Amino acid sequence: MEAMKADKVMKDNQLSMLTAIMESHLKINIHTTFNEVEVKRAEEHRIERETLLAQEATERRKTIVEDVAGSSRQPEAGGSSTQEDIEMINVENVQEQDVEAGQEFMLVGESSELFDINDVLRRVNVVERKWKAKEVLLLEWKTQ
């Protein structure tokens, strides 16, 4: 039994000497490097998990839309049979198309209210002026 303990102590000592030699020759800290590798592995695992969850969510949405489209004429509990079918679109492709076309937003469906674009722009300008005025007042308050 004591021989096994002595052998273990000797191997531990050899391992620590080997570690010291490796750190000296490679000019690295093995513990720090190992921690960095573990962080990278955890990040990769997190990204994989998020991608998988996003794919599963997309698949669930598609099946829900297909179920709704297939049974859109049958009223469901808490639902309405007068709703139009919902079409899934790939948001990334739409955003790329919008950027290429120079659009910054896209209307989906029909507006419930008629609106004047000049009125909307005027309201946006008013809101921006209010924000800037608040920022100026905050800066003046901080400097005093």
pTM above 0.85, yes or no: no
Residue 95 pLDDT = 47
CB 76 within 8 A of CB 84: no
- Domain residue limits, the chain: 2-71+106-143
Can you tell me the distance from the alpha carbon of 120 to that of 111, in angstroms, rounded to the nearest whole number?
Answer: 14
Mean of pLDDT values over 90-96: 51
CA 103 to chain centre: 24
- CB neighbours of 84 closer than 8 A, spacing ≥ 6? 72
Secondary structure E strands in the chain: none
Instruction: Quote the CA–CA distance of 39 and 45 in Å, as a whole number.
Output: 10
pLDDT tier, 113 (very low <50, low <70, confident <90, very high otherwise): low
pLDDT in tens, 31-78: 888 888 999 999 999 999 999 998 888 888 877 766 666 665 555 555
